[in-house]
Homo-oligomer: A and B are copies of this chain.
Amino acid sequence: MSAGRRGRARQIKHRERATGSGRAEPPIGPGLAGGTYRPLADEEVTRVCDAALDLLATLGVADPVPAMLTPALDAGATVNDAGRLCFSRPVMEALLDGSAKDFTLYGRDKRHDLDVSGDRVHFGTGGAAISVFDHRGDCYRPSTLVDLYDFTRLADQLVNVHWFTRCVVATDLPDPYDLDVNTAYCLLAGTRKHVGTAITVPENVAPIIEMFDIAAGGPGEFASRPFCKLHSSPIVPPLRYGADACDTLIEAIHHGMPINAITAGQAGATAPAPLAGTLVITVAETLASLALVNVIRPGHPMIFSNWPFVSDLRTGSMVGGAAETAVLNAGAAQVAKRFGIPCGVAAGMADSKLPDAQAGYEKGITTVLAGTAGANLVYESSGMLASLLGASFEQFVIDDELLGYALRAVRGIEVTNETLALDVIEQQVLGDGHFLGATQTLEMMETEYVYPGIGDRSTPGEWEDKGSPDIRVAAQRRLHELMQHHPMYLTAEQDADLRARFPIVLDAADMTVASDRWAGQG
């Protein structure tokens, strides 16, 4: 029985246990088991892994930061003649053996805890657009802190967004400290799902943890159930450590923050043009991040986030919605799973600039392949447009629907005596020849099928009577409803404490329905 199958069996058992008969369980949710899509044959995965390990052993990684050098050498790494840090295969395998395998990414509410083990699949956001698609004028404008707050509370309400990484940068806050502190504040106020953020410089880590402790109930409380992971790119492709990112990552480890170590190599630009070669170098780079984390603190929770990107070789620009991106990221998940480490990949990064058919197929193809490949965390899967340059509120609502379909595909087909339904078949075939009225049909209506919320299944005539709407119409209407809600996950005391100690600039008036920025829409 393969790992994917074990995950499937576990999930069926879990469904049955949770409900007695399993009948009341909704058809989809976080943590369904993927692994049915395997773009690489087993021996091809082996070749990619071997090649990546060879690169680390011979070519190595440039510019290791001083703070990692001694512990890396202690762990058996060596510096070659070119001054590059090399990890021989036994050294790297020992680091892999000691690394964190199965762990939980906590929400501030236990209901949002994510078990990132095995083939369990979750969808969520990534970072970090610098602009917002304004659906009122089909145009882009710089993203602001208020946008980030609005995205946070929107993601909080969407069931198929399983965690929230700050998806836009508050470009109205040029100072790194103001940016980091106010970003953290938005995450604390707007959701109790697991969150993620970047931190600009090492010195900002301690203040951010202080904020998290306030929200968690007191000093040291964050580290007991760390509900926020650090998004970090400690590698500057190709194969070089980046000093600032490494130092911030090390500081975050010391404060008990889980690490999402992202490699964002780009095929044809910072990685080779053939997809296999891009996979090799980006796997090596993500292993170099894993080495960094584990020489600093063996077994520290780290997501192996190899997000191979693709260049449009006609222009050199990064593209996110390409089919090559889809297979590369699915392949990245498959390779990470060989190492047995919780992994993240990127999908849903449309190159389209608006929620049109192009955005739909780019997102549909990339997310469903990442999910069925069994990626534990599928980043960038909500709201992103314009090759990650922009985020869209409207697209966020459409993506929640799309991700429901992707999750249903991940769940697949359960084969049991009950679902094979031979007795029901015999009864209905020899009976009235129809299954619509069968007891089993009624029972499975809410557990086997996902129904659209905003997607349209009406007939052409019914649809014309409604005014021939594009799905954007229903998405904008739903968005307007959702934006009337201002969940607030800080107590008045916590809020006051945060505002007293930190330069919070998000206006309390912008955090109520009285704010008129969403009025008149929908």
* Chain A interface (Cβ < 8 Å from any Cβ of B): 1-2, 4-5, 8, 36-41, 44, 47-48, 51, 54-55, 59, 82, 131, 133, 138-140, 238-240, 268-277, 279-281, 310-317, 319, 321-324, 326-328, 331, 351-365, 368-369, 372, 386-387, 389-390, 395, 398, 401-402, 404-409, 411-416, 418-422, 424-426, 428-430, 433-436, 438, 440-441, 443-445, 448-451, 455-461, 463-464, 468, 470-472
**Contact of A324 with B448 in the complex, beta carbons under 8 Å:** yes
Q: Which residues of chain B come closer than 8 Å to A55, judged between CB atoms?
A: 422, 425
Distance, CA A436 to CA B310, complexed state (A):
12
Distance, CA A59 to CA B430, complexed state (A):
9
**Contact of A441 with B364 in the complex, beta carbons under 8 Å:** no
**Given contacts A51-B422, A59-B430, A238-B435, could you give 11 more A-B pairs where the C-beta distance is less than 8 Å?**
A40-B413, A47-B415, A59-B429, A272-B424, A276-B415, A279-B413, A314-B445, A326-B409, A331-B413, A361-B364, A368-B369
**Contact of A420 with B317 in the complex, beta carbons under 8 Å:** no
**Contact of B272 with A449 in the complex, beta carbons under 8 Å:** no
Q: Give A40 Cβ to nearest chain B Cβ, in Å.
A: 6
**Residue from B310, B418, B435 within 8 A of A271 (CB atoms):** B435
Q: Give A303 Cβ to nearest chain B Cβ, in Å.
A: 22
With both beta carbons as reference points, the residue of chain B lying nearest to A4 in the complex is identified as: B41
Q: Which residues of chain B come closer than 8 Å to A239, judged between CB atoms?
A: 429
Distance, CA A327 to CA B433, complexed state (A):
25
With both beta carbons as reference points, the residue of chain B lying nearest to A139 in the complex is identified as: B464
**Residue from B138, B140, B443, B460 within 8 A of A131 (CB atoms):** B460
Q: Which residues of chain B come closer than 8 Å to A463, judged between CB atoms?
A: 353, 386
**Contact of A449 with B322 in the complex, beta carbons under 8 Å:** yes
With both beta carbons as reference points, the residue of chain B lying nearest to A133 in the complex is identified as: B460
**Contact of A272 with B44 in the complex, beta carbons under 8 Å:** no
| A356/B353 contact (C-beta < 8 A), A274-B440, A276-B416 known | no
Number of chain copies forming the complex = 2
Distance, CA A281 to CA B434, complexed state (A):
13
**Contact of A357 with B44 in the complex, beta carbons under 8 Å:** no
**Residue from B315, B353, B445 within 8 A of A273 (CB atoms):** B445
Q: Give A461 Cβ to nearest chain B Cβ, in Å.
A: 8
**Contact of B406 with A365 in the complex, beta carbons under 8 Å:** yes
Q: Which residues of chain B come closer than 8 Å to A472, judged between CB atoms?
A: 356-357
Closest 4 pairs (CB-CB, A-B): A360-B360, A364-B364, A277-B421, A323-B408
27 inter-chain pairs at a CB distance below 8 angstroms, sorted by A residue, are A37-B372, A48-B415, A48-B420, A59-B429, A82-B430, A138-B468, A140-B460, A238-B425, A268-B436, A270-B434, A273-B438, A275-B448, A276-B419, A277-B419, A277-B420, A277-B422, A280-B420, A281-B425, A313-B449, A317-B459, A322-B450, A352-B456, A356-B360, A357-B402, A358-B456, A360-B363, A361-B363
Q: Which residues of chain B come closer than 8 Å to A326, judged between CB atoms?
A: 368, 405, 409
Distance, CA A130 to CA B212, complexed state (A):
60
**Contact of A361 with B360 in the complex, beta carbons under 8 Å:** yes
Q: Which residues of chain B come closer than 8 Å to A268, judged between CB atoms?
A: 435-436, 441, 445
**Contact of B280 with A422 in the complex, beta carbons under 8 Å:** yes
Distance, CA A362 to CA B389, complexed state (A):
25
Q: Which residues of chain B come closer than 8 Å to A351, judged between CB atoms?
A: 455-457
| A353/B460 contact (C-beta < 8 A), A277-B421, A361-B364, A364-B362 known | yes
With both beta carbons as reference points, the residue of chain B lying nearest to A331 in the complex is identified as: B413
Interface centre among A239, A365, A411 (most CB of B within 10 A): A365
Distance, CA A277 to CA B270, complexed state (A):
49
Q: Give A118 Cβ to nearest chain B Cβ, in Å.
A: 15
Distance, CA A464 to CA B140, complexed state (A):
8
